[in-house]
Copies of this chain bind each other. A is one copy, B any other.
Amino acid sequence: MARAYDRLDARIMEMIQANNRLTSEEIGREVGLSSTAVQRRMKKLRESGIVEADVSIISPKAVGRPVSMLVLVSLERERADIIDRFKRTLRSTREVMSDFYVTGEADFVIMVTARDMEDYERFTRRFFYENPDIKGFKTLVVMDRVKVGFAIPIEEPDPNV
């Protein structure tokens, strides 16, 4: 299998991961390619899954969820079926914005949004205390998000495979 992307693709990705509404012409001007070529490359990147998704970022504040919490969750036992069940629960819980299965201090780290602290308290009662799989949790209240989103440093792939 050939290298999945090259230096130009990397530059295109750097641009669209900051703003995917740039026209292919604007991108092309920057990287020195015709809009057609840019278009074709982006299509390939999307089809191959290197570009996973294209999304709008909504301001949590503006839609009435100004408070966010990072929660470290520990399960009673690290058993595959319990972990999978908890993953499913997470997926179907709207208050959970993102979540990670981790090793270390906790089993899961989840990001929860709420209308206010009371709202979050209600959430914890429903979500944590009523779930027998959960051993405990620690809440970290988010005061400020310094970097937003998930921008990845994209480098040209190593030419020596």
Contact = CB atoms under 8 A, between A and B. Distances in A.
Given A13-B58, A51-B59, A52-B58, A64 B158 contact: yes
Contacts of A157: 63-64
Interface string A1-28: 0001100001001001111110000000
B49 A62 contact: yes
A146 B91 contact: yes
Contacts of A51: 56-59
B20 A56 contact: yes
8 contacts: A20-B56, A50-B63, A64-B157, A70-B102, A97-B152, A98-B149, A102-B143, A103-B140
Interface of A: 4-5, 10, 13, 16-21, 48-60, 62-65, 68, 70, 72, 87, 90-91, 94-106, 109, 111, 113, 138-155, 157-158
